[in-house]
Every structure is written in C-alpha cells, then in structure tokens.
Amino acid sequence: MKKILVLCTANSCRSQLAEGYLRYFAGDKAEIYSAGVRSTGVNPGAIATMKEDGIDISGHTSNAMEEYKDIDFDYVITVCDNARENCPFWPGRSIHIHHAFPDPAHATGSAEEIKKAFATTRDMIKEYCQDFVAKHL
C-alpha cells in the first residue's frame, strides 16, 4: 500500500482538501496523511466546502510535518510554494511532487465571494487528486 503525505503551510485548508479527496479517490490503495510547516487547526471553510461536495473532513486534525518524519512515504506532495521551500528531506524513496493552489483562507470580500474562493480551490484540488490517483495508484 502506498503512503502519501500532502504538505502546505498551516495544514488548515489546501492540504486538508487534498487529504479528503485523495482518501476518497484512492480508497484502500493508499494511506493518506497531511501536515503543515506549522499546525494551526482545520479551517471551518475547508470543512464546509468539502461537505458541499459530500465529503466529511470534520474529523481531520491539523498536524505539523515533524510528526511524520519517521514514515517512509512513497509520495510527498506540496500544495503551496512555502511548503515546497520548507519541506525537509524525506529519507527513503519518496517522490516529491509540487502543485501550488491558491489559498482560500486568504480570500477577502463578501461571504459569498469567500465561499466561491473555497469552492474554486476545492474544485482544482479535486481534479488534481483524481488525476493523481489515476496516474500513480
């Protein structure tokens, strides 16, 4: 079984969305983890936008990448430039993949505009995860 780690800056939004979709699309083909350069808690907007698409991430936790330093991951996916720049060397055979997504946690404007920013990033990450699973698992 493949082990996949998704990293972003705070493990609050983008990596949480990716963890949710990778778990959904990979099923029992992989163990999925997510972490951040630092841990700040799961963003309520991430939980809400995933719920709109039928995926419950309300039980996810926000973790710091140091918690997983002893796991031999097959893939380490960074979903923001900050995580890529601060990603430690992962020993073993890890394949590092980078794909930056906009951070909806920094969206401004009306409640509807912020909700749309979350949905836009969610849909981008969903497509990426579906493609990743098809190509790599």
Q: List, by residue number, the catalytic residues.
A: 8, 80, 87
> What span, in angstroms and rounded, lies between the C-alpha atoms of 54 and 75?
26
Rounded Cα distance between 97 and 36, Å, is 15
Give the dihedral sign, CA 88/9/77/61. positive
Beta bridge mates, 77:
6, 97
